[in-house]
Amino acid sequence: MSLPRTNHWILGRDTAPLSGGYLPSLDPMNRQPWAEIAAGDANDVGDAVSAAHETFSSWRRTGPTQRANILWKLGDLIGEHAEQLAQLESRDAGKVIREVLTQQKMLSTWYHYYASLAYQLEGRQIPHEKDSLLAVTIREPYGVIGVIPAFNSPMLLASMSVAPAIAAGNTVVVKPPEVNSQSLYLLAKLATEAGLPPGVLNIVHGEGAIAGDALVADPLVRKVFFTGGIDSARLVTARAAQGLKQSVLELGGKSANIFFPDIDLDRAVDGVVTGIFAAAGQTCIAGSRLLAHESIADELVQRVAARAKTIRLGDPRDPLTEMGPMSQAKIYDGVVSRVTAAINQGAAVEAGGPEHLTDDGGWFFPPTVLDGIT
């Protein structure tokens, strides 16, 4: 039985990969392919960037009212298709439907906000000592912008760059994460429906080391936005530096929850649980460390562990599910390895842990709390 295929979106058209190759999109619930995405390479990226470059000259001259109207309409369409967008991301990456649906609905106002900013691209006059000189600044778009968002919230993370870039008169090429690509393809179709001219927003799927690298390296790309891990960011930055391109990086961190003796323990527990177990811990600001004053540490850990044991694992598209599977084998294996290493180094398991892993086919790891970390 053939799987549904998602192609590139280049110059306002559904475009098959030049190589004819496709990559499987795996369902984190069962680790089985449920769809296929185009396996883009440097040739596909080159076509998308060329389309964006050719469109830039006309789009940059498009007035702020037209750009604002298109972005506002796109925001409306995202709101109207929020359920469909959320279902795609939930199935592709295993995110709980309630969380991702909230993101999609919020993005409607995000595009409305940048629609309003299309009118604010103003320069300024700079005072000078001599009245015979006139110094002014003019804000101008860069040109083609390359955007590479992370797998955990591709619509949200891409839109953080796409909306302001388009509002300012730039054109964009997005390389979605290969494990969560479907929603951004739909975004491009919605943008076309909103009236965005062909070539202003282009989507090229593919692996990061191939399509992503080609996008950053393309000489017509003037600026790069990347969201992801530190190791990948080093490669992106080095590649961008070869072309003296500006790059904006949004990377993950080991965020700490720090609590003093005067806290409200009930509210603290809610914050800790939300901060680490939302999206199965797969967020750029996951509260993965808990640092507490010794006078409250034991009780706080016990309360967090007790709450973690009640978290409902299951199908992320079920509205009653509180935590879904992890998005991919690489992350799942990494969590198993790190938790096992911590236990071997003396950490105490207060909730979850590898001993509670189930062989149910999905990338499920139980909500885990470790105490006594060195």
Catalytic residue numbers read 250, 284
Maximal C-alpha separation, the chain: 79
Coil, helix or strand for 65? helix
Residue 241 and residue 226: Cα distance in Å, rounded? 14
Angstrom CA distances, 291 to 301, 341, 371, stand at: 10, 20, 11
How far is residue 295 CA from its own chain's centroid?
39
Tallying the residues shown for the chain, one arrives at: 374
- In what helix (H) or strand (E) does residue 224 lie, and over which residues does it extend? strand 221-228
Phi/psi at 223 (5° precision): -155, 150
**List of residues 6+ apart from 297 with CB closer than 8 A:** none
What are 277's two structure tokens?
């177990």
Identify the DSSP state of 193. Answer: H
CA torsion, points 360, 363, 369, 373, in degrees to nearest 10?
120
Residue position matching structure tokens 């909500």: 367
Phi/psi at 369 (5° precision): -125, 125
Long-range contacts of 238-246 (CB under 8 A, 24+ apart): 239/213, 240/216, 242/217, 243/217, 243/219, 245/216, 245/221, 246/142, 246/222
